[in-house]
Amino acid sequence: MKIRLTLLVLILLSYSSFGQDLSYAKEIVEQLASPDFYGRGYVAKGDKLAAEYISNEFEGFGLQTFGKNYFQKFKTSVNTFPSNMKLVLNDEEKIAGTDYLVHAGSPAIKGKFSTVRLSIDEMLDPNTLSQKLRSAAGQFLVIPAYDPKEFSKEQQDRITEVLNFIQYHPDNPAAGTLLLTKGKLTWSASTTVYSKPTFTVKINDSQQGIQEVSVDVTNKYFDQYQSQNIVGYIDGQNTDSLIVLVAHYDHLGMMGSAALFPGANDNASGVAMLLNLAKYYSTNKPKYNTVFIAFGAEELGLIGAKYFVDHPLIELSKIKFLINFDISGTGDDGIQVVNGKVYKDRFDRLVEINAEQELLKQVKIRGEACNSDHCMFHMKKVPCFFIYTLGGIQAYHDIYDKSETLPLTEFEDYFKLITLFVDEL
């Protein structure tokens, strides 16, 4: 009995001491990455549904608002693919998301086209290139899969230049382009529509003889789509300085009505970290006033974060430290800390806490990188880290970034490390 009681006390202590709740984190990731949120993009207002979900959670933890609610609205342009998405090569229909991606900035297109194959060697010869491009008028260009390592640095630069012309320049006379690849399909989002469509198609060597392309793609472009950041705060003991914790909640949405990009790791997992921290600090009064921001439109080019720093709801100069959580769902190989080299003292402390508490496998240092929302604050001289987890699954910006396969391996230790770090700032 005595042993059992001690065990029970130990379990309760370990459970409550950091307030971290893995089942709550799992629930958030499952919810936000489910089809109900349409990939948190701009098809079926997925971004708004996610924003409302987060706002409700903020309210549940009693976070305070800066205005009449948690929303900071802003507008952005965005290209979307809400309905038709069909690609048939010769007689074989390809599966959206699995076999191919349409470039996020592609316009609508419908019809049957013959093809002109443009090899990489032909691209590198200016005369052949212009002759081939002229001959491709009204047809589809097919660019074979190639390995950049087989080309020199100068050749690679030239290939990139030609590919940019083919994809983005209105003077390309072709009706569209197929880029064949043996690599992973990685999608993105676009605020612009280009004049010609490009499809990236996964293909085997034996499948390179494509004579006919049949397509049906519908896009919908918004030049004034209203999106939003969700902002709340918790009063601390000291109101002179602010701690700011942020994560983007948007993802790529849908590519046609069938291909869903769930964005479990990117970045439902970061939102799970943010909401867990909000939950924790709602019952453990923080040292400083602590602001929680879920940013919109990160995938479109850090647009929500840019809007925030241009229209700040707080004095940016009062921010003692900001942490951006983007991709928090693994941790098998530890974490990477962007700006670790810039704020080396802070970074060293993070490493020390991690070692003292025996938490993560490693805390890796990195310099500046403008690869997520923290960058907008960094450019305004706000001290900040961007932290992401390393190892585990490789799904990224694809249909495989699902909650079912996101392990949240080190989530609890990662959470513990962050709270210990924040508490001594």
Q: Stretches 123-131, 262-270, 362-370, 383-391: which one binds Zn ion (CB under 5 A)?
A: 262-270
CB of 245 to Zn ion, least distance (A): 16
Comparison of 179 and 335: residue with beta carbon closer to Zn ion? 335
Listed ranges 2-10, 178-186, 321-329, 389-397: which one lies at the site for Zn ion (CB under 5 A): 321-329
- Name the residue with tokens 């009062």: 318
DSSP state of 371: S
210: Cβ contacts below 8 Å, ≥ 6 apart: 89, 90, 115, 142, 178
Alpha helix locations (H) across 136-178? 153-168
Asked whether position 269 contacts Zn ion by CB under 5 A, the answer is: no
Contacts of 301 (CB under 8 A, 6+ apart): 191
Q: Select from 63-71, 187-195, 322-330, 360-368 the region that touches Zn ion (CB under 5 A).
A: 322-330
- Select the span of 117-125, 192-200, 265-273, 280-288 touching Zn ion (CB under 5 A): 265-273
Least separation, in Å, of the C-beta of 24 and Zn ion?
21
Dump strand ranges (E) for 307-396: 319-325, 335-338, 363-365, 384-389
Report the residue number, 269 or 289, with the smaller CB distance to Zn ion: 269
263 or 286: whose CB is closer to Zn ion? 263
Q: How far apart are CA 180 and CA 172, in angstroms?
A: 18
Alpha carbon distance 106, 110 (integer Å): 12
CA dihedral 233, 371, 367, 281 (to 10 degrees): 20
Instruction: Out of 47, 266, 410, 413, point to the residue binding Zn ion (CB under 5 A).
Output: 266
Residue 359, Cα to own-chain centre: how many angstroms? 26
Query: Is 402 strand, coil or helix?
Result: coil
> Total residues at the site for Zn ion (CB under 5 A)?
3
Which tokens sit at 174?
A: 């072709």
Structure tokens at 31: 């919810």
- Output 266 or 410, the one with its CB closest to Zn ion: 266
| Smaller CB separation from Zn ion, 267 or 289 | 267
Exactly one of 47, 57, 326, 401 binds Zn ion (CB under 5 A); that residue is 326
Q: SS in 3 state form for 107-131?
A: CCEEEEEEEEECCHHHHCCHHHHHH
Tell me the pairing of strands 335-338 and 319-325.
unpaired
Closest C-alpha to 158, from 201, 200, 122: 122
Exactly one of 267, 328, 409, 419 binds Zn ion (CB under 5 A); that residue is 267
Sheet of 384-389: strand order equals: 71-80, 220-234, 288-295, 238-248, 319-325, 384-389, 335-338, 363-365
What track of x and - describes contact with Zn ion for positions 73 through 102 (by CB under 5 A)? ------------------------------
Among candidate residues 387, 340, 334, the one with its CA nearest the CA of residue 361 = 334
Residue closer to Zn ion by CB (options 232, 270) is: 270
List 100's β-bridge partners, or say none.
Answer: 96, 201
Residue type, 171: D
Q: Which is nearer to Zn ion, 57 or 326 (CB)?
A: 326
Of the pair 162, 255, the CB lying nearest Zn ion is at: 255
Stretch that binds Zn ion, among 143-151, 179-187, 289-297, 323-331 (CB under 5 A): 323-331
Q: Which residue, 261 or 347, has its beta carbon nearer to Zn ion? A: 261
Nearer to Zn ion, 33 or 141 (CB): 33
Applying CB under 5 A, which part among 121-129, 145-153, 325-333, 363-371 lies near Zn ion? 325-333
Whichever of 21 and 266 has its CB closer to Zn ion, that residue is 266
Which listed range, 171-179, 310-318, 326-334, 351-359, lies at the site for Zn ion (CB under 5 A)? 326-334
Of the candidates 94, 75, 56, 83, the residue with the CA atom closest to the CA atom of residue 230: 56
At residue 179, φ and ψ (nearest 5 deg) are -100, 115
Q: How far is the CB of 298 from Zn ion (least distance, A)?
A: 6
Interface pattern 200-229 for Zn ion (x via CB under 5 A) = ------------------------------
Residues 141/177, Cβ–Cβ less than 8 Å: yes
Stretch that binds Zn ion, among 34-42, 83-91, 171-179, 324-332 (CB under 5 A): 324-332
Footprint of Zn ion (CB under 5 A): 266-267, 326
